[in-house]
DNA sequence: GTGGCTTTATTTAGTCCCAAAGTATCTATC
DNA sequence: GATAGATACTTTGGGACTAAATAAAGCCAC
């Protein structure tokens, strides 16, 4: 009769998950990393060794004491599938435990179609079939609010979805655990497992792209808000009578510096032609167009002002910048850096921000990280689907 | 060898704390309230009954089953002392477990004096002496950032304090557990124990007063931020080149609608005379002065805009308004209500706000609530001082 | 080299809390 | 007034995790 039966046996899963995502570690390292006692690690790893899920590797040169013995996962090939849904396509990747992408694809997608959820299911079924028995689960990133990662019901105006039962539908279609989450939050979770989260417990992940978003991680746990809608910084009001926003409000940050707003401004200032995209704006700025650079710097300045407010509210250790718009960060930064600093109280000016690398797979990779991070979920946010992932981790390891 | 030794025996303390703050409850209610199993409640209460800390009261009319037997705390007279430090005085209250204030006093105080901490200690020592053996601890609310409730080192520009060892100093002077926290956060903790926290797990407490502040409670736990500075919404930038703020930045919310800013605006618009306080402004508005009402309504509108941003960022269940400025809320609300709604995304417009009652003791009462809430602290945020409070709760109960 | 010192891992004894199953005592209904 | 159903509480038997003590195995200094 386990103490936390609903959450499954958490420690063994965390150990497996940790070894999978970080590579071989000593028992002492595991204990420190998971904040559990060395005794528990010994107990747990003993069982895992006996079951053949883990094996003892070489010793490690000692640091003035008994040398550590590294433990490594036995199996190879385990992984998860991540999918990012947008208004016109779905990006799908398969990611190994260590975070490496070993296959990625993009599929056209029409979220407005009446059978959109079925189409999404079919599309993913093909990917799932290829990894039979080696798959921990499927993570899905959605541009919208997800009521609970576990239930996976989605409110996504961008896609025209309201109370869409994404989680339930995909679970039925795929027969594997499915975790659904807001797309920006998936990036925050990915940072938790593979990025800044290894060094910091509390951080923000701000994204620049079609919209402006923010993922909030507090003490290692994703903060979702009461209704799964936390981090909607794109709709922080930045002006009293600003431009109309797609959300129905006015003067939202996103209405000022979202992709559409940037394009509109650039057209007005004759930097790019009518109908040209934000890429043209980036190109012009890169080519030395002063007005183009100015448009981006102004956007950066406003972002800095908005993020200063968020930092005052949340007091994070660090802010990570991400998103497809990050490729033009050089130009944003000219406005961002002074503005961010200037609008922070002096005592908060030490708050650092850093720019993570970006590529097109990152959204889908983040979605996969949802699954790969679920062994560490101590808060129960991943619910029964998280438990299923942990079961699969136990079952699948060691079969190779 | 307890499982959570650093936190002391948590369940017995929570039970005692719950019975103290809520009055008699049945075992089943306790189990539901603390989210622990009925079996554990039986075990725990058995021990507490045996030790004479708790006694069985009358039965309660059944609701279609075996009637519940109420359990009540044996002792009476237990309580905590709360102190609120400001730039010119210290308010001190003694609060019984059930939240009732049974003595309150105000003392002049000069935070700039070189021996300010000693003076504070002396001042509190007198209060502590009167409650020998009946005191769980002392809570102190400070207008500034506290690095850790446990350590109690304070950064408070308003008081001219930097890295002031408030916690350490008072502990030495008083010989009882001392918990130090940002003043707004103490109000949030008080709401947790005696107010909105009984119905909601995640909420914001926004304060209108000398400054503008915000306490954040997430899933029943106070969110302090990485460096204890979360909730500084008074310094959210509301304009690019706004008025200078005391914090050194410009255009902060507080520089627009803090008490000093309101007074300045009111003088400029000739509502009140030079040197008159915000009370005069309130009086004028109450008396029907349209310009005075307008000043307050404009402030309300800006507050609404700022809080809309915070709600987008945090997605709370509800927002509670508090603070000495709340007496004029009628006038603020004229601007606040439409602005708050207007600047929220449609999906967030259901977020409700409510106005709590206010009196002068509330700040100090909040500080006392720090102590009275520490039995429930599951996160370890109250540290060793919290453990000491729990020990005292065990020791002091049942002696009467 | 030999005794400290450090770090790692294991063993032991014990605490905390829980699930499941059983008991108690009431209301509702026929 | 039995029987069913609901709600409250207890008992029992573990499982998970821990602290403390112990063992193991290296480094360092003299």
- What digits encode the pLDDT tens for the residues A360-387? 899 999 999 999 999 988 787 888 888 8
∠ CA A335-A336-A342, nearest 5°, is: 100
Q: Could you say which nucleotides of strand C lie within 7 A of any protein CB atom? A: 5-21, 24-28
pLDDT of residue A30: 95
Is a pLDDT exceeding 90 seen at residue B366?
yes
Mean of pLDDT over chain A: 91
pLDDT tens column, B120-132:
999 999 999 999 8
Mean of pLDDT over chain B: 91
Task: Please give the C-alpha separations between residue A379 and each of A176, A218, B37, in angstroms, as whole numbers.
Answer: 22, 12, 18
Interface-testing mutation among A313, A338, A343, A381, with chain B (most B C-beta atoms within 10 A): A313
Yes or no, beta carbons of B145 and A314 under 8 Å apart: no
Last residue of a domain, one of B55, B73, B91: B73
Return the structure tokens found at A23: 């590579």
- Strand-by-strand arrangement of the B161-164 sheet: B145-146, B154-156, B161-164
| Kind plus residue range of the DSSP H or E element containing A136 | strand A135-142
Give me the helix-helix angle, A290-314 and A329-342, nearest 10°.
Answer: 50
Backbone angles phi, psi at B83, to 5 degrees: -135, 135
Is-contact A116 A86, C-beta < 8 A? no
Is a pLDDT exceeding 50 seen at residue A165?
yes
Task: Please give the C-alpha separations between residue B275 and each of A384, B222, B260, in angstroms, as whole numbers.
Answer: 63, 38, 11
Give me the helix-helix angle, A27-34 and A10-22, nearest 10°.
Answer: 110
Interface-testing mutation among B196, B312, B344, with chain A (most A C-beta atoms within 10 A): B312
pLDDT tens column, A43-52:
999 999 998 8
Question: Percent helix, strand and coil across chain A, each rounded to 5?
Answer: 45, 20, 35
Q: Which of A131, A132, A148, A146 is nearest to A93 (CA)?
A: A131
Question: Same structural domain for residues A238 and A289?
Answer: yes
Tokens 């430090």 sit on residue: B85
Last residue of a domain, one of B73, B106, B125: B73
Asked if strand C comes closer than 7 Å to B5 Cβ, the answer is no
Question: Same structural domain for residues A214 and A321?
Answer: yes
What b/e sequence results for A224-253 when a residue is b if at least 16 CB atoms lie within 10 Å of its CB, and e otherwise? bbbbbbbbbbbbbbbbeebbebbbebbbbb
Residues 6+ positions from B217 with CB-CB distance below 8 Å: B188, B189, B191, B192, B197, B201, B202, B203, B204, B205, B223
Q: How many CB atoms within 10 Å of residue A324?
A: 17
Return the structure tokens found at A97: 């435990």
> B153: helix, coil or strand?
coil
Question: Same structural domain for residues A86 and A167?
Answer: yes
pLDDT of residue B10: 85
pLDDT tens column, A231-284:
999 999 999 888 999 888 889 999 999 999 999 999 999 999 888 889 999 999
Q: Which of A91, A114, A112, A115 is nearest to A103 (CA)?
A: A91
Last residue of a domain, one of A52, A73, A94: A73
Task: Please give the C-alpha separations between residue B26 and each of A15, A275, B57, B63, B211, in angstroms, as whole numbers.
Answer: 40, 68, 9, 13, 42
Alpha-carbon span B190 to B370, nearest angstrom = 7
Is a pLDDT exceeding 50 seen at residue A79?
yes
Q: What is the dihedral of CA A324, A328, A333, A335, to 10 degrees?
A: -110
Is a pLDDT exceeding 50 seen at residue A130?
yes
Yes or no, beta carbons of A247 and B346 under 8 Å apart: yes
Q: Which of B150, B118, B156, B155 is nearest to B137 (CA)?
A: B150
Residue A398 has, within 13 A of its CA and on its CB side, a CA count of 14
Alpha-carbon span A80 to B58, nearest angstrom = 57
Question: Same structural domain for residues A66 and A86?
Answer: no
Is a pLDDT exceeding 80 seen at residue B236?
yes
pLDDT tens column, B271-330:
998 888 899 999 999 999 999 999 999 999 999 999 999 999 999 999 999 999 999 999
Asked if strand C comes closer than 7 Å to A3 Cβ, the answer is yes
- The pLDDT-based confidence of B400 (bands split at 50, 70, 90) is very low
Question: Same structural domain for residues B97 and B213?
Answer: no
Alpha-carbon span B83 to B368, nearest angstrom = 7
Question: Same structural domain for residues B230 and B329?
Answer: yes
Q: How many CB atoms within 10 Å of residue A5?
A: 9
DSSP for A201-252, written as a single string:
SSEEEEEESSSEEEEEEETTEE---TTS-TT-GGGSB--TT--B-TTS-BSB
Is a pLDDT exceeding 60 seen at residue B2?
no
- The pLDDT-based confidence of A397 (bands split at 50, 70, 90) is low
Q: How many CB atoms within 10 Å of residue B379?
A: 14
Alpha-carbon span A302 to A324, nearest angstrom = 18
Is a pLDDT exceeding 90 seen at residue B384?
no
User: Taking residues A332-346, what's their average pLDDT?
Assistant: 95
Instruction: Residue A353: list chain B partners with CB under 8 A.
Output: none
Alpha-carbon span B363 to A213, nearest angstrom = 36
Alpha-carbon span B161 to B319, nearest angstrom = 30
Is-contact A299 A284, C-beta < 8 A? no
Question: Same structural domain for residues B350 and B391?
Answer: no
Is a pLDDT exceeding 60 seen at residue B203?
yes
Is a pLDDT exceeding 50 seen at residue B6?
no
pLDDT of residue B3: 42
Instruction: Residue B312: list chain A partners with CB under 8 A.
Output: 229, 232-233, 235-236
Q: What is the dihedral of CA A186, A190, A195, A200, to 10 degrees?
A: 60
Return the structure tokens found at B294: 């307008």
According to DSSP, residue A378 is labeled: -
- Chain B residues 53-92 with Cβ under 7 Å of strand D are 62-69
Alpha-carbon span A105 to A93, nearest angstrom = 6
CATH at residue B315: 3.30.420.40
Alpha-carbon span B82 to A379, nearest angstrom = 33
Residues 6+ positions from A115 with CB-CB distance below 8 Å: none
pLDDT of residue A300: 97
Yes or no, beta carbons of B155 and A347 under 8 Å apart: yes
Q: How many CB atoms within 10 Å of residue B228?
A: 22
Q: Could you say which nucleotides of strand D lie within 7 A of any protein CB atom? A: 5-21, 23-28
Q: Report the share of chain B in percent with pLDDT over 70.
A: 97
As a rounded value in angstroms, the CA-to-C1' distance for A65 and C2 is 17
Is a pLDDT exceeding 60 seen at residue B8?
no
- Chain A residues 26-55 with Cβ under 7 Å of strand C are 26-29, 38-39, 41-43, 45-46
Task: Please give the C-alpha separations between residue B162 and each of B144, B145, B246, in angstroms, as whole numbers.
Answer: 10, 10, 16
Alpha-carbon span A2 to A37, nearest angstrom = 18
Question: Same structural domain for residues B200 and B300?
Answer: yes
Question: Same structural domain for residues A239 and A335?
Answer: yes
Is a pLDDT exceeding 70 seen at residue A56?
yes
Interface-testing mutation among B156, B234, B313, with chain A (most A C-beta atoms within 10 A): B313
Q: Report the share of chain A in percent with pLDDT over 70.
A: 97
Alpha-carbon span B317 to A234, nearest angstrom = 20
pLDDT tens column, A276-295:
889 999 999 999 999 999 99
Nearest CA in chain A to B318: A226
Asked if strand C comes closer than 7 Å to B14 Cβ, the answer is no
- The pLDDT-based confidence of A6 (bands split at 50, 70, 90) is very low
User: Taking residues A189-215, what's their average pLDDT?
Assistant: 94
* Overall domain count for chain A: 3
Is a pLDDT exceeding 60 seen at residue A4?
no
As a rounded value in angstroms, the CA-to-C1' distance for B62 and C29 is 18
- The pLDDT-based confidence of B399 (bands split at 50, 70, 90) is low
pLDDT of residue B93: 97
Asked if strand D comes closer than 7 Å to A240 Cβ, the answer is no
| Kind plus residue range of the DSSP H or E element containing B257 | helix B253-257
Strands A203-208 and A318-322: parallel
Asked if strand C comes closer than 7 Å to B29 Cβ, the answer is no
Alpha-carbon span A351 to A310, nearest angstrom = 12
- Strand-by-strand arrangement of the B318-322 sheet: B221-223, B212-218, B203-208, B318-322, B352-355
User: Taking residues A347-366, what's their average pLDDT?
Assistant: 93
pLDDT of residue B347: 87
| Kind plus residue range of the DSSP H or E element containing A61 | none
Return the structure tokens found at B70: 């109420």
Alpha-carbon span B307 to B319, nearest angstrom = 9
Return the structure tokens found at A67: 């040398």
According to DSSP, residue B237 is labeled: B
Alpha-carbon span B124 to B236, nearest angstrom = 35
Nearest CA in chain A to B228: A315
Question: Same structural domain for residues A185 and A84?
Answer: yes
- The pLDDT-based confidence of B391 (bands split at 50, 70, 90) is confident
Question: Same structural domain for residues A201 and A350?
Answer: yes
pLDDT tens column, B49-104:
998 899 999 878 777 888 999 999 987 788 999 999 999 999 999 999 989 998 99
Return the structure tokens found at B63: 């609701």
Question: Same structural domain for residues B369 and B234?
Answer: no
Alpha-carbon span B169 to A17, nearest angstrom = 45
CATH at residue B24: 1.10.10.10
Residue range of the domain that includes A20: 5-73
Alpha-carbon span B321 to B358, nearest angstrom = 10
> A400: helix, coil or strand?
coil
pLDDT of residue A270: 92
Q: Which of A209, A183, A204, A182 is nearest to A192 (CA)?
A: A204
Q: Which of B181, B298, B299, B305 is nearest to B236 (CA)?
A: B305
């Amino acid at each position: 009769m386990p103490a936390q039966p609903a959450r499954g046996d958490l420690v063994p899963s965390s150990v497996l998950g940790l070894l999978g995502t970080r590579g071989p570690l000593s028992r002492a390292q595991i204990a420190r990393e998971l904040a559990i006692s060395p005794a528990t690690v010994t107990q747990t790893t003993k069982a895992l060794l006996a079951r053949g899920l883990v094996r003892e590797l070489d010793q490690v040169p000692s640091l003035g004491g008994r040398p550590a013995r590294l433990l490594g996962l036995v199996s190879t090939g385990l992984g998860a599938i991540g999918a990012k849904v947008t208004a016109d396509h779905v990006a799908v990747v398969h990611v190994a435990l260590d975070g490496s992408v070993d296959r990625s694809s993009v599929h056209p997608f029409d979220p407005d179609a009446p059978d959109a959820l079925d189409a999404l299911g079919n599309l993913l079924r093909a990917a799932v079939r290829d990894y039979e028995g080696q798959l921990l689960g499927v993570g899905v990133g959605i541009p919208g609010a997800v009521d609970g990662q576990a239930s996976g019901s989605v409110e996504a105006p961008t896609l025209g979805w309201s109370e869409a039962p994404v989680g339930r539908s995909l679970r039925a279609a795929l027969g594997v655990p499915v975790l659904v989450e807001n797309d920006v939050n998936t990036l925050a979770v990915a940072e938790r497992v593979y990025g800044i989260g290894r060094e910091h417990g509390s951080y923000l992940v701000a994204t620049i792209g079609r919209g402006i978003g923010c993922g909030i991680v507090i003490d290692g746990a994703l903060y979702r808000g009461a209704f799964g809608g936390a981090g909607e910084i794109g709709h922080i009001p930045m002006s009293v009578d600003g431009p109309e926003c797609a959300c129905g409000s006015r003067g939202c940050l996103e209405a000022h510096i979202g992709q559409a707003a940037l394009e509109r401004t650039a057209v007005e200032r004759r930097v790019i032609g009518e109908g040209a995209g934000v890429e043209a704006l980036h190109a012009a700025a890169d080519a030395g167009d002063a007005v183009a650079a100015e448009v981006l710097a102004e956007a950066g300045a406003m972002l800095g002002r908005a993020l200063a407010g968020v930092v005052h509210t949340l007091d994070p250790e660090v802010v990570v910048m991400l998103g497809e718009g990050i490729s033009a960060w050089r130009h944003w930064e000219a406005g961002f850096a002074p503005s961010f600093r200037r609008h922070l109280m002096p005592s908060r000016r030490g708050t650092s921000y850093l720019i993570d690398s970006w590529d097109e797979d990152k959204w889908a990779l983040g979605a996969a990280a949802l699954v790969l991070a679920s062994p560490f979920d101590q808060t129960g946010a991943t619910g029964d689907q998280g438990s299923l992932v942990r079961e699969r981790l136990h079952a699948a390891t060691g079969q190779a």
